[in-house]
């Protein structure tokens, strides 16, 4: 029968310490993430209304969503099945916003769509991805077919309409699926907005604020 | 004896490193939790529309927004810890809605009770399932999930219902993504509303070898994040 000697206990402690270090997150650069998504953001005469807005992402382990069965901005727009989500990761952010059965009138121009969705994904050290789904879009009853290209712009008298608007930012981008504004600046409506960004601060930190966990 | 001690230490270190690295599952197995999927819990988001079946929708759409996933220890229990997500659904048709329900028929979630891994491979029990695979266009995972929970409706005969939504992210551009929803009476456990499995933007059934529809929305799976502690299960508690 074997007996574990005092010397061997030290070896076991050493092995335990090695296991502890293996289990503890390695030193890594601290990441800063930005994420937000909203189904509707409408500003009319300086008054802003948001529908299904996630708010800002709280960090690399946060996930936020917002939803509404139906939503409306009086005298401006209606929509159904509004949803928005933003998800943080240590090295990535995913954001998405959508709504269906959009009906909107801006400066006398009717705009409708079966479905509108914006998505943005940013990966640390990689290119950001922006995607837009717009189905059944009509402007004053005339079907409009998105090209899929970023920042497709349609100018209609008093209106500027941008489809798949992609606005780069530090470490990421904002994707606005459908952005309608009047040239006088009094009305500004974004349908489906997704923001995702992740960047490294260049500093280093341990997984628990630099304090090693207890070994046992 | 010394050689045996070093060998023991080496085994401990290697085994622990393998567990930490996720190369092997923990050895602690609870038979009572055998319906828990071994896949790490993730997230699902999406929205869009379908044309409910029965050939009587007259082009009337059913719009939806869906989300699901684990957050901070989600489990069906006991004790249950809620899952993350949402469901909103509006059916503008009359083909399958309850006769007592107004048009449009509304469904709005109140709780998310389970998030289900659905195996697309040979093994349908969620264990040893092939995948998950990745969409090369987005780098995101693809696959099928179910979101199960409780909802309210505007049907006076079914003010509270259980829902079971099966959705699939089959990659971009979403034309092969599908939506399938059951609503059941929580008192009788009987399904009274069934969209059938339908590709987005269509009434095309997703079975029968169908490969997709024209597209009308998108379902997106997202990889786990540090908050997704909890378990995906292998079947929905509701019919």
Structure tokens that stand for B2 in this block = 């010394």
Which of 67-86 (A) contact B at CB < 8 A? 67-70, 80-83, 85
User: Between B224 and A74, where is the model more confident?
Assistant: A74
Q: Which residues of A touch B12 (CB under 8 A)?
A: 15, 19
Find chain A residues with C-beta within 8 A of B47's C-beta. Answer: 81, 83, 98-100, 115, 117
Q: Quick check: B63 and A100 CB within 8 A?
A: yes
Rounded-to-integer distance, Cα B36 and Cα B233, Å: 4
Supply the pLDDT for residue B8.
43
Q: Which of A154, A163, A105 is nearest to A133 (CA)?
A: A163
DSSP assignment of B179-207? EEEEEE-TTT--EEEE--SEETTS--BS-
Scan for tokens 């809620």, then name that residue.
B82
User: What's residue B118's pLDDT?
Assistant: 86
User: Nearest-CA neighbor of B197 among B209, B185, B184, B189?
Assistant: B209
Spatial contact of A31 and A60, defined as CB atoms under 8 Å apart: yes
| pLDDT of the residue at A42 | 98
Once rounded to an integer, what is the mean pLDDT over residues A142-161?
95
pLDDT score at B121? 55
Average pLDDT over every residue of A7-24 = 48
Measured CA to CA, the distance from residue B175 to residue B212 in angstroms comes to: 5
Q: A212: pLDDT confidence band, cut at 50, 70 and 90?
A: very low
**B65 neighbors B47 (Cβ within 8 angstroms):** yes
Chain B nearest-CA distance from A13, in A, is 10
Q: State phi, psi for B11 to the nearest 5 degrees.
A: -65, -45
pLDDT at B213: 78
Closest CA to B194 of B164, B229, B221: B164
Mean pLDDT of chain A: 85
Q: Omega before B79 cis (within 30°)?
A: yes
A133 interface with B at CB cutoff 8 Å: yes
Task: State the pLDDT at residue A11.
Answer: 52
Of B150, B55, B51, the residue nearest B91 (C-alpha): B51
Say which residues have a Cβ less than 8 Å from residue A87's Cβ, sequence separation at least 6: A35, A57, A62, A63, A93, A94, A95, B43, B222, B225
Helices (H), chain A: 6-23
pLDDT, mean of residues A179-204? 89
User: With bands split at pLDDT 50, 70 and 90, how would you rate the model's confidence at A202?
Assistant: low
Segment A74-97 shows an average pLDDT of 96
Answer yes or no: are the C-beta atoms of B148 and B114 closer than 8 Å. yes
Query: What integer is the mean pLDDT of A94-99?
Result: 98
Are B226 and A114 inside 8 Å of each other by CB?
no
Handedness of CA A211, A216, B6, B11 (dihedral sign): negative
Tell which wins on pLDDT, A138 or A205: A138
What would the two tokens of residue B199 be?
A: 């590709």
Q: What is the mean pLDDT of residues A149-167?
A: 96
Task: Give the pLDDT means over successive 10-residue stretches in chain B (239 positions).
Answer: 46 41 35 62 94 71 96 86 96 91 96 88 48 69 91 98 95 91 97 94 78 87 85 89
Interface test with A, best of B49, B65, B155, B181 (most A CBs within 10 A): B65
Q: Which residues pair with A189 in a beta bridge?
A: A42, A180
What pTM did the predictor assign? 0.81
Size of interface A-B (CB pairs under 8 A): 142
Distance CA B232, CA B230 (A): 7
Place of tokens 């079946």: B53
A194 close to A118: Cβ distance less than 8 angstroms: yes
């Amino acid at each position: 029968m074997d007996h574990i000697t005092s010397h061997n206990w030290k070896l076991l402690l050493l092995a335990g310490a090695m296991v502890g270090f293996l289990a503890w997150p390695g030193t890594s650069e601290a990441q800063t993430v930005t994420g937000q998504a909203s189904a509707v953001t409408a500003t009319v005469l300086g008054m802003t209304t948001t529908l299904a807005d996630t708010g800002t992402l709280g960090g690399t382990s946060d996930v936020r969503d917002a939803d509404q069965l139906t939503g409306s901005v009086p005298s401006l727009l209606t929509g159904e099945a509004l949803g928005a989500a933003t998800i943080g990761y240590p090295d990535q952010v995913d954001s998405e916003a959508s709504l269906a059965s959009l009906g909107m009138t801006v400066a006398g121009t009717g705009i409708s769509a079966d479905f509108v969705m914006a998505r943005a994904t940013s990966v640390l050290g990689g290119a950001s991805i922006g995607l837009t789904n717009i189905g059944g879009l009509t402007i004053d009853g005339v079907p409009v077919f998105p090209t899929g290209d970023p920042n497709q712009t349609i100018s209609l008298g008093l209106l500027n309409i941008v489809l798949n608007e992609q606005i780069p930012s530090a470490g990421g981008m904002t994707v606005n699926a459908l952005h309608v504004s009047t040239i006088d600046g009094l009305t500004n409506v974004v349908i489906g907005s997704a923001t995702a960004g992740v960047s490294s601060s260049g500093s280093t930190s341990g997984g628990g604020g630099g304090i090693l966990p207890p070994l046992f | 004896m010394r050689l045996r001690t070093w060998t023991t230490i080496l085994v401990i270190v290697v085994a622990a490193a393998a567990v930490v690295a996720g190369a092997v599952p923990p050895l602690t197995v609870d038979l009572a939790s055998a319906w828990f999927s071994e896949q790490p819990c993730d997230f699902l988001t999406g929205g869009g529309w379908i044309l409910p079946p029965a050939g009587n929708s007259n082009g009337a759409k059913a719009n939806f927004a869906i989300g699901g996933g684990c957050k901070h220890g989600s489990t069906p229990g006991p004790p249950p810890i809620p899952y993350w997500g949402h469901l909103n659904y509006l059916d503008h048709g009359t083909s399958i809605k309850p006769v007592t329900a107004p048009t449009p028929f509304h469904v709005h979630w109140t709780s998310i009770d389970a998030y289900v891994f659905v195996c697309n491979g040979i093994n349908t029990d969620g264990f040893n399932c092939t995948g998950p695979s990745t969409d090369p266009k987005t780098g995101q995972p693809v696959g099928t999930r179910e979101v199960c929970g409780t909802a309210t409706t505007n049907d006076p005969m079914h003010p509270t219902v259980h829902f079971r939504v099966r959705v699939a992210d089959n990659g971009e551009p979403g034309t092969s993504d599908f939506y399938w929803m059951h609503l059941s009476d929580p008192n009788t456990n009987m399904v009274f509303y069934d969209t059938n499995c339908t590709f987005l933007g269509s009434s095309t059934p997703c079975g029968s070898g169908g490969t997709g529809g024209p597209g009308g929305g998108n379902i997106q799976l997202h990889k786990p994040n540090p908050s997704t502690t909890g378990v995906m299960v292998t079947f929905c508690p509701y019919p």
